[in-house]
Chains A and B, each alone.
Chain A
Amino acid sequence: MPFTRQIVEEGSSHGFIAKARAPTVTMPRIKALTTGSIPGFIDVVMNLNSPALLEDNLIRQAKDAGKRIVFYGDDTWVRLFPRHFTEHDGTTSFFVSDYTEVDNNVTRHLDSTLKRADWDVLILHYLGLDHIGHISGPHSALIGPKLLEMDDIIKKIHTSLTARESEDAPPDLLVLCSDHGMSETGSHGGSSEPEVSTPLVLISLAFPRKGGAFQPSTVEQVDLAPTLALALALPIPRNSVGRLLPAVVEQAPLREQLRLLHLNGHQLSSLLRDSNPTYQRQDGYELFRVAEKAHGNWMKLYLEGNTSEVLGNLGRKVLKQYLEALQSMSLALSKQLGRYDMYSMIVGMGLILEVLALLLLAMPEALGGAACVDVPLAPACLSLPFCLLGLLACSTHVLMCTSAEANCYFCSLPWPLAFSALLFVAALLCSLAAMAVCVLSLSLTFSLSLSPLSLQSSLDWTLSELDILLLTGTVGQTLSLGASSFIEEEHQTWYFLLNTLCLAVFQDVCRKYFKERRVLGEEREESSLLPSTTDGDPLRPSFSPATELGVSLGAEKWLALTTPLLTLVCCRLLRSLNQTGVQWAHLPDLGHWLNNGEHKVFLSVLAVFSLLLIFLLVQRHCSLVSTIALALGLLGIYSYRAAVGSVLFPWQHTSRSISKGTGEARFVYVFVLGILFTGVKDLLCSQVTAAGGGGHLRSRGLWEVYSGMVLLVALLLRPHNLPTLACCLLVQTLMVQFVWERLRYDAAQITIMHYWFGQAFFYFQGNSNNIATVDISVGFVGLESYVEVPAVILTAFCTYAGPVLWACHLMCYLSSERDRAAGALSHGCYCLAVLRSVPAALYVALTTALRYHLFIWSVFSPKLLYEATHVLIAAAACLIFTAVDHDHRETESDG
C-alpha cells in the first residue's frame, strides 16, 4: 500500500498496532471498537445473528449529539445499530467466496458521498480482504491487488478530505483500522499473534508531519473508542475500558491534554466504582485521586497566571500521574470485567453432574441383558428429603436473587421456570441417592451371601488389553483437557489413541490367526458351532465377507491381518492432509498444496478417485434406485465443485467464469432427500410388515439413511477433504467385514472404537478446538442468500461430519447384526451417552475451576462451545438410537 505507507511514514498521521482481544470475530470486535468494552465469548455464537447493541456506544452518542452518520459495508453494523444511520447500504458478509462484489458495493457510493457535505461521520467497512483470507490464505496472489485497491480508496478519501479542509471548521480525521487480523491459514477467531494484531492509523492535518523511520507502538483496540469520543467531543461510552491515546493529543496545549485525561480517568473510575466493591483499594483509583488533586493545584497556579518553568514541570508530572492511573485502572477493569455469574454456574454445573452421576449409577442395569433402567423419580418426589431440599433450594434462590445485585442469568429467568428447575435438581438428587443405596446394598448382599468364593471370582473378572486401553484412553483423554496445550493439540491425543487402538486390534487379530496349533483346533470346533459362519441364509441382514467379496478363508485371514495396518496407513495419510492445532498449524500440508491454484489437476483427479471409491463402498448397501440416485448425486457433486471453480473437467482447460453453483448443489440436494426419504420409508414399512422381513427391511432402511448422509457430507466437504470421507468409508467397511465381526467384540467395545474413530475423523477433516477452523462457507451451498436455519444446520453437520457418520454407522452396524443380543443397540446408545457426557461434564467443572486461567478466553472457552455443540449432536444421535431401538423391540414383541 504505497500511499498509506507514505502517509504513515511521512504525513501528518499517527500509526499504531492495535491489539484485539479474543475472540477475533467481526461482531465482538465491532462492539469493542464502538463501546470500548470487552465483549464475552457468547458473542461468537451471536456473530451469525446479531441483535441491536443496547450498551452505551460511540454511534449512539454521536447520533444523540446530532451527528449525521453514513454507513456502507458489512451489514453487521446495520443490525447492531438500527436506525442510527442517516444513510446506509449493508452488504451481507456471508458469501465468503465473493471478494469483489462486496467491496464494489461499498465503493460505488464513495464518490457521490464524498462530494456531498450532508454528513458528519462516514463509516466504511470493506470485506474483500477478509474473504480472500478465508478462501485462499494470507499468501494468496489475490491479496496484492486487493491491497492496492484499498490503497487507492484511502488516497481518494484523503485527497477529497484535504480539498474540503477549510479554516474555520475543525480538521477532518481519517481513521484506518481493522476489526481483526488474519492467521497463517487465512482465517480468524483465535488469539495468535497475526490474528490479534490490527493496524490503527489516524490521519489528520491537525497532526504534525513527521519524517524518518517510524516504529508503531502497540496499543489496545479498545483505546480507539475513548480517543474518538474525546476527539468528536462526545461523552466516552460508559463501559469503555480503553485509554486515550496520548500521542494523539500531544500537540494540544497542556491544559487541554490534562482536561481530556481527566475526563477519561473520571469515566474509568466511575466504571471501576460500579463494577468493583473494593474499588477504593485499587491502585489505579488512588493514583487517580492523587492526580486529580495535583491537577487542581496546577489549575490554581495556571489561573493565577503563573507561567514559570515550575508550572510546566508540575503539569508534566500531573500528566504522567494521569497516564499511570489510566493504565492501572484500565488493566484492573479489563481483568475485572470477566466477572462470573457464580450462582447460575453452580446451579448449571450441579444439574450436569447429577445427570452424569445418574448415567454412571445406571451402568450395571444399562449394560445388563434387559438394557432397561428404572429411575425412581416418582417415589423420590413424595419423600421427605425431597420436600426439604426443594424448600431449601427455593429459599436459597429467593435469597440469592433479592440480595445480590441482580446481574444473574438464572435470576432473570421467569420465577416458575427457575423454581421448577430447582425442584427438578432436588428430585434428581433424591432419586440418585435412592439408586446409590440400591446399587450399594445389591453389591453388599451379593458379596455377603456368596462369601469369599464370589469375591475371588469377582476379582478374577479380567479385562483384556484392549479393554484396558479403551478405558485408560477415555479417562486419560478426559484428564488431558486440564492442560491448555492438550486442548490446543487435542487432535494429537486422538491420533495417538487411534494408532494404539489399531495396533491393539492388530495384536488381537494376530492372536486369533496365529495361535499355537492345539488352541487353533479348539477354536475351529468352537467357531463351527456358532451361527456367524453359517452362510447361505437368504434373510441374513449382516454381511459375511466370504459371500460378499468371494474370498477364501486363507485370503480372509490375510485381509483381516492387513485391515488394521491399512487403517494405520490411512490415518497417517489423512493426518498429513490437514495440519490443525496451534503449534504445528503453520507447517505445509497436503490440503494447502492441493488447494493451490497450480495443482488443480491433482485435486480433480483425487476428487474423482475419492468419489468413485465412495460410490463403490456405499452402493453395496443400497437398492437399485438408491444406487442410481447416489451415482447421479456424486456426479452432481463433481459438477458443483467444477462450477464453483475448485476442480476441473477434463475437457475444460481455461478457467471459466466462477458461479455460485446453486443449481448443481440443489440438484444434489434432491437426490440426498430422495435417498433419505426411501430409507425412512423402508424404516416405517419395517414396522408394518411381519417380524421376519421386517428386520431386513429395517436394516436396509438404516443403511439407506446412512448413504444419504454420506452423499450430503460429500457435497458439503471441500474437495481436498473428499479423501477423508473415502478413507472413513473404507475403514468402516474393512473393519466391519474382517475385524469386528470376526473377533466378536461386544457392543460397548465397538461403541468406544466408533467414538474414537469419530473423534479422530473430526480432526482429520481439518477441525480444531479453535473457532477459526469452522468453515462457514458450508452454510451457503445451494443457497442464494443467507437463510439462518439451514445455514446453521449445514455448518454444524459438516463440522461434525466425522462423529455423526461414525455414530450413524454404529447404529446401522449394531442393528443389522443378527448374532447380537437384543440389547446391543441400547448398549451402544448408553455407551455413546456416557462417552460424551463424561468429558463434557468434567470439562464444565474444570473450566469453572480454571476461570481465572490466563487462557480461559482463548483456549478453554472455544473448546467449551465445541463440547456443547458436540453434546447436542450426540444427544440427537442418542434420541434417534432409542427411537429405532424402540421400534425394533415393538416389532419383535409383535412377532
Chain B
Amino acid sequence: MWDVEIRGMTSAHAIIAASIFMATVIPVVLVDNFSVYGTHLVWLYSVACSVAVVNIAVFWLLGISPPTKKNTLNYKLSRLIRSCVYFVLSCLFFHAVVVLYGAPLIESALETFSLAVLLSTLTTLRCLCILGPNVQAWIRVFSRDGWVAMSVWDTSLQITSSCSIVGAWFGAFPIPLDWDRPWQVWPISCSLGATGGFLTGLLAAPLWIRWHRKQLTYKLK
C-alpha cells in the first residue's frame, strides 16, 4: 500500500514538474521575443497558470481531495467560492510580507504582486486542492506537531511549501550584489528561487518519505 501511494505521488509530482518545464518552453514558440528574463512576468504567469491547472486537474478530478460530506451543488459552490477567497487573501498576505521585507511599496507593485501570485500558487493552491478550504486542517498540517501527518500528501505538502518559500527567501540574496546581471532585477531572482525550491520540494518529498517510511506513522489511515 505504501509503495502504491508513493508511486502515485511521484507520478503526480513528475506531471507538475513537467508542466513547469512546458510552461517555460511552449511560450517560446507562441510569444514573440519570449525569454525568462526579458519578459519575466509572462513566464511567471505561464508557470503559475500551468501549475494551477495541473494541480487542480490532478488532485481534484482524480479525487485525492478530502471527501465532501454533503454532495449538494450549493455546498460545492460555497467551497469553490471560499477557495477563491482564500487564494486571493493568500496573494494579499504574500504581497504584504514581501513589502515588509523591503520591496518598494508603489513603484513595482505589479512585479511584487506577481511574485505573491506565484508563491500562492505554489503553496496555498496546493493546500486548497489537497486539504480544501479548511483552516483547522491547515493548522494541523503546518503546526509543529503536524509532522505526525495524516497521509503522504500532507507530508509532501509540508515539504514542497516550505521549500518554495525558503527558495524565494534564498532568491533574495543576490539582489544587493553589484554584478548587474539581468536576473538580479526584482523579482526575477526571487521567483526563480521559489520555482527552483518548489521543484526541489517535488523531487525531495518522495525521497524523504521513502527514506523515513519506518518512522512515519499515519495514525488515522
Contacts and interface: CB of A to CB of B under 8 A. Distances in A.
Given A495-B102, A572-B99, A500 B176 contact: no
A516 B176 contact: no
A568 interface: yes
A516 B145 contact: yes
B140 A516 contact: yes
A569 interface: yes
A247 interface: no
Interface string B162-178: 00000001001001111
8 contacts: A485-B178, A486-B177, A493-B176, A496-B101, A511-B143, A514-B139, A516-B139, A569-B100
Interface string A250-265: 0000000000000000
Contacts of A511: 143-144
Interface residues of A, number: 27
A514 B101 contact: no
Contacts of A575: 102
A568 B97 CA distance: 9
B100 A568 contact: yes
B76 to A, nearest CB: 28
Contacts of A519: 145
B176 A485 contact: yes
A500 B179 CA distance: 25
A571 B100 contact: yes
Contacts of B179: 485
Closest 3 CB pairs of A and B: A489-B176, A485-B177, A485-B178
Interface string B122-139: 000000000000000001
A503 interface: yes
Contacts of A499: 100-102
Interface string B191-221: 0000000000000000000000000000000
A483 B177 CA distance: 8
A500 B100 CA distance: 10
A478 interface: no
Nearest to B105: A576
Interface in A208-229: none
Interface string A555-588: 0000000000000110110011000011100000
A492 B176 contact: yes
A488 B178 CA distance: 10
Given A485-B178, A495-B102, A511-B143, 17 more contacts: A483-B177, A485-B179, A486-B176, A486-B177, A488-B178, A492-B175, A496-B102, A511-B144, A515-B143, A515-B145, A519-B145, A572-B99, A572-B102, A575-B102, A576-B105, A581-B176, A582-B178
A231 B175 CA distance: 51
A572 B176 contact: no
Given A514-B139, A516-B140, A572 B100 contact: yes
A470 to B, nearest CB: 15
Contacts of B105: 576
Interface in B82-132: 97, 99-102, 105
A582 B176 CA distance: 10
B213 to A, nearest CB: 20
A572 B101 CA distance: 7
Contacts of A569: 100
A616 to B, nearest CB: 25
A503 B97 contact: yes
A465 B179 CA distance: 32
Contacts of A514: 139, 143
A495 B102 CA distance: 8
A516 B100 contact: no
A489 to B, nearest CB: 4
Contacts of A496: 101-102, 172
B168 to A, nearest CB: 12
Nearest to A499: B101
A287 B195 CA distance: 58
